[in-house]
């Protein structure tokens, strides 16, 4: 049951990552390491070498087609620049799980620092929620974010999510924001 792709919004193209994106992604990760590293896992934010990114993005493409995780490159329609990533992960109440065991979807995202504050993430997440509503097994969507990341936690607020509590990862507790996908 693959998720649709590409997705289009008024200003964005969301499509699965491919290994061919490595050369374009590398300078973005290098320039944004300080901006991204406090908030997202190092395995995502790390400005790895282009060959390492080829392998990483091939894994993302494989996960997408096997319905393990759906990572979309977020691309500006006007100039085709990569802006960041929007990701969907099947999960249950406790953790990310295989799709067959999921009852909800977790939404994750990151955006390059020079394009923050323009509503791109909110637009991309809204498109992802529309897609998630089409997956019968997903009853709700969750966004997990660090409470110190004001920009990230503004997204679920703008989209009508409710603060449900906190998850406790190893480093620091994350807020869990939730939204029903159906009435």
3 state SS of 154: helix
Does residue 120 form part of some domain? Answer: yes
Q: Which residue has the tokens 């494989």?
A: 62
Residue 19's pLDDT band, with cuts at 50, 70 and 90, is very high
Please give the average per-residue pLDDT across 152-178, as a whole number: 86
Q: CB under 8 Å to 17, separation ≥6 — which residues? A: 25, 57, 60, 61, 64, 71, 72, 73, 85
Q: CB under 8 Å to 162, separation ≥6 — which residues? A: 177, 178, 179
Residue 170, pLDDT score: 56
Q: Which domain holds residue 156?
A: 7-180
Distance between the two ends of the chain, CA-based, in angstroms? 23
Does residue 66 form part of some domain? Answer: yes
Q: How many domains does the chain have?
A: 1
Does residue 164 form part of some domain? Answer: yes
8 Å CB contact between 75 and 82? yes
Residue 3's pLDDT band, with cuts at 50, 70 and 90, is confident
Q: pTM of this prediction?
A: 0.93
Does residue 1 form part of some domain? Answer: no
CA dist., res. 85 & res. 83, Å (int): 7
Flag whether pLDDT at 154 surpasses 70.
yes
What number of residues does the chain have? Answer: 183
Does residue 2 form part of some domain? Answer: no
CA dist., res. 60 & res. 124, Å (int): 18
Does residue 143 form part of some domain? Answer: yes
Does residue 100 form part of some domain? Answer: yes
Report the CATH number at residue 171. Answer: 3.40.630.30
Does residue 131 form part of some domain? Answer: yes
CA dist., res. 105 & res. 133, Å (int): 10
């Amino acid at each position: 049951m693959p998720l649709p792709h590409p997705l289009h919004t008024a200003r964005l193209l969301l499509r699965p990552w491919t290994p061919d994106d490595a050369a374009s992604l590398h300078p973005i990760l290098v320039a944004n390491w300080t901006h991204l590293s406090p908030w997202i896992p190092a395995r995502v934010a790390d400005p790895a070498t282009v060959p390492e990114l080829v392998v990483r993005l091939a894994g993302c493409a494989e996960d997408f087609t096997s319905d393990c995780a759906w990572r979309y490159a977020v691309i500006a329609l006007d100039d085709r620049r990569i802006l960041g990533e929007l990701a969907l992960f099947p999960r249950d109440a406790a953790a990310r799980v295989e799709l067959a065991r999921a009852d909800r979807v977790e939404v994750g995202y990151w955006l390059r620092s020079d394009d923050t504050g323009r509503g791109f993430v909110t637009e991309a997440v809204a498109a992802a929620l529309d897609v998630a509503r089409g997956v019968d097994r997903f009853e709700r969507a969750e966004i997990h974010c660090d409470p110190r990341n004001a920009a990230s936690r503004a997204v679920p607020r703008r989209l009508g999510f409710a603060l449900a509590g906190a998850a406790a990862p190893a480093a620091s507790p994350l807020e869990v924001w939730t939204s029903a996908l159906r009435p």
